[in-house]
A and B are shown apart, each in its own frame.
Chain A
Amino acid sequence: MFRALQFTFGAAIVIFLLMPIFAILPLAFTSSVFLNYPIPAYSMRWMHELTTADVWRTSIVNSLIIGGGATVFATVLGTLASLGMRKGALPMVGLLRTLFLLPMVVPAVVLGVGMQIFLVRLGLASTYLGVIIAHAVLCIPFVIVSVSAALQGIDPSIERAASSLGAPPVTVFRRVTLPLAIPGVVSGAIFAFATSLDEVVLTLFVAGPNQRTLARQMFSSIRENINPTVAAAALLLIIGTLCLGGLAALLRWRQKRSALETAPSAI
C-alpha cells in the first residue's frame, strides 16, 4: 500500500517535471497555424519559417554573436580570476568570491534597470558591445565556479614535482596546470554560452531592435502572437543545450577519470 503510494507520487512528479518539455517538441512539426493539440498533419513548415523568416533568422544569428562574445569575455576574465584566487595568496578571497558570484543572486530586473541607465550614459545602449558586456556579467560566475572546481581538483604535488625537476613557473603553468584545468575552462565556457542563450530580462532592458536574440524573440512571440515557430525555436534550443550539456558532462567525466588515473602516480 505504502509502496504503491510512493510509486504513484514519484511517477506523478516525474511526469509533472518532464511533461512540459516533451509536450512542446512535437508541435514543432505541426501543419496547423495554432500551437496546440491535436496535430492535424506533420510538416516542416514551421522549421522552414524559423530558418527563413527575417526576424527569426536574424535573432538566431544575434544569439550566436552575443553568446559567442559574452562567452569569450566571461571565459577569459573568469579563468584569470580563478587562477588568481586559487592559492589563497590574496587577502579577503572569500569576499572577492562572494562579489563575483553576486550576479547570480541579484534579480535580473534590478540589474537590468541599472545596466540600462548606465549603458545609456556610456552611449552603449542598443549596441552589440553593450549587450555582450551585460551578458558577460551574468556568465562570469558560471565560469568561475567551473574553473575553480577544476583547479581545486589538481593535485599540488604534480606541480611541485614539475618544479622540482627544474621547470620554471611559466612552464609548470603551461605544461601542467593549464592542461589539467582545460576541461573546467571548456565546461565553464559552455555554461556561459548556455546562460547567454537563455537570457531574456537583461536583453529586454539593454538591447535595441537590432540586437534581438532568439530568447528575446521567443518572449515577444509568446506574448504577442504565439504560433508554432515558438515550438520550432524551442526544439532548436533544446537540441542546442542538450548537445552543450552532453559535452560538459563528457568533459567532467573525463576529468574525473584522468584525476583517478593520475592520483596513484602522484602519491
Chain B
Amino acid sequence: MKAAILRERSGALLLVSPVLVFMAVFFLWPLWAMVTAAFVDDAVSKVLPRTAASIVSWDGQGIPSGAAHKALVQDLTAATDEQALGEAVRRLNSAASGFRTLLGRTIPAVKAASDPAQVDLLTVDPRWKDTRFWVALKEAMPPYTDRNILAAVDMKRDGSGSIVLEGADASAHRLIMLRTLLVAAMVTIACAAIGLPYAMLAASLTGWKRSVLLLAVVLPLWTSLLVRTAAWFILLQNEGLINRALQAIGLIDSPLPLIFNRLGVVIAMTHVLLPFMVLPIYSVILGIPRNLMSAAQSMGAGPVRAFWRVLLPLSLPGLLSGSLLVFMVAIGYYITPALLGGANDQMISSVIAFYATGTANWGLAGALGLILLVVTTVLYTIYGRFSTSSQVPGA
C-alpha cells in the first residue's frame, strides 16, 4: 500500500517538475536577478580587485598613495574582459562624469607601456590629481550597495555616510509613488461607484436584460488592451467623438482637454478595470438568499432600509475583494498611462520602464521594481484572505 502511494507521488512529481523547473528558472530567477541588481554593485571591484584592496585604507583626502596607483595600473593591464571593463567604466562614469574619457586615455597608455610598473598615472593624464575621481573609485568598491534602494525613496548617503533626504529638485520618486497611489485610488473609487450598483442591477434582473449587462462586462475583457486604449484615444482626443458631440449640441465652444491628462487616464483605466470590480460583487450578490430582502421588508423595513441594512452589508465582501483587485492591478499599470497620460500622469511603472529600457540603469529600476513588487504581494496576500472564491484576474 505504501509503495503504491509512493509511486503515485513520484508520478505526480514527475509531471509537475517540468513546470516547476521552468517557473523557477524563468520566473523566480528573473525576479531574483532584479532584486540583486538593486543591491549588488561589484562591476568595479570585479575588474579592479587589487585597487579595491589597496584603496580601502585611503582616508579620502588629497589623492591616495603610490601603492594604489600601482595597483590600478596592474589591474588595468590585467583587465582583458572588454565587456566587464566597459561595465566598470560605465559605473564609474555615472558616479563622476569625465571618468569615461579619463580611462579612455589611461587604458591604452597602460596597455601600450612596455613595463607597466614604470607607468605614472599623473603623467599619463593630469586629471588623476583630481580627488573627485579617486573618491568615486573608492566609493564604487564595496560589492553591495544601498544606493539604489535609497535613491528609489529619494534618499542618499552624504559624505559622512549617514542617510539624508535628497534635494527636492534632484528626484521625484516619492511624488510619483504618491501619484501612483492617488490615481489607483481614484480608479478604484470610480470602479466601486459604478460597479456596485451595476452588479446589483445585473443580479436583480433576469433573462436577456441580465445577459446584456453581463455581456457588456465580459466583452471588453476579451478585447485586446491595446484596442481599448486606441479606442479611448479616438474618443478622447480634441477632434474625438466626445468633444465633437458636445460641440455639436452646443454645450461647449472649444474642445475639453480629455487626453494627455489625469482625467483621460482615469476614464480609460476605469473602463479597463471595471470588470474586475463587477464580477466579484456580482458573484457575492448571487450567493445572497433571495428571500432575505423580502424577509426584511415583511418585518417592516422600507426598501431603502432593507437595502441599507441587508443587501449592502452582505455584498461588502465582494466590494472589498473587487476593490483590492482593482487597486492592485492599477498600481502596476503601464500601457494606459503611457499612451493616454501627460508627463504629469506617469506612474511608477513608467519610471521603472524608463530606467530599464531608456538608460539601462538596472539598479534603480530593480529597486523601484522591488518596492512595487512588495506592495503588490502584500495586497495580493490580503486579497487571498478576503476573497473566498478562487476567482482569478483575467480568467
Which residues in chain A, 100-128, are within 8 Å of chain B measured between CB atoms?
Answer: 100-119, 121
- Bound CA–CA A83/B9 (angstroms): 12
Contact B12 A102 (CB under 8 A): no
Contact A137 B31 (CB under 8 A): no
| Chain A contacts for B395, CB-based, 8 A | 142, 145-146, 191
B213-235 Cβ-contact flags toward A at 8 Å (1 or 0) = 10011011011111111111111
Contact B217 A24 (CB under 8 A): no
Q: Is A64 an interface residue (CB 8 A)?
A: no
Interface size (B, Cβ < 8 Å)? 81
**Nearest CB to that of A215 among chain B residues?**
B226
* Chain A interface size range: 35 or more
Interface contact tally, CB-CB below 8 A: 253
| Chain B contacts for A111, CB-based, 8 A | 27, 30-31
Chain A nearest CB from B81 CB (Å) reads 14
Q: Is A172 an interface residue (CB 8 A)?
A: no
| Chain A contacts for B249, CB-based, 8 A | none
Q: Is A1 an interface residue (CB 8 A)?
A: no
| Chain B contacts for A85, CB-based, 8 A | 12, 16
Chain A nearest CB from B233 CB (Å) reads 6
Chain B nearest CB from A132 CB (Å) reads 11
7 closest residue pairs by CB, A with B? A107-B332, A84-B15, A114-B30, A20-B231, A84-B16, A114-B34, A81-B19
Q: List 8 A-B contacts (CB under 8 A).
A: A16-B271, A17-B216, A35-B233, A36-B234, A36-B240, A84-B12, A105-B393, A140-B23
- By a beta-carbon cutoff of 8 Å, the part of chain A in contact with chain B is 6, 9-10, 13-14, 16-21, 23-24, 27, 34-37, 73, 76-78, 80-81, 83-87, 89-90, 96, 99-119, 121, 133-134, 136-137, 140-142, 144-146, 191, 194-195, 197-198, 200-201, 204-205, 215, 218-219, 222-223, 226, 230-231, 234, 237-238, 241-242, 245
- By a beta-carbon cutoff of 8 Å, the part of chain B in contact with chain A is 5, 8-9, 11-20, 22-23, 26-27, 29-34, 37, 194, 197-198, 201, 209, 212-213, 216-217, 219-220, 222-235, 237, 239-241, 244, 271, 274, 328, 331-332, 334-335, 338-339, 349, 352-353, 356-357, 362, 365-366, 369, 372-373, 376-377, 380, 392-395
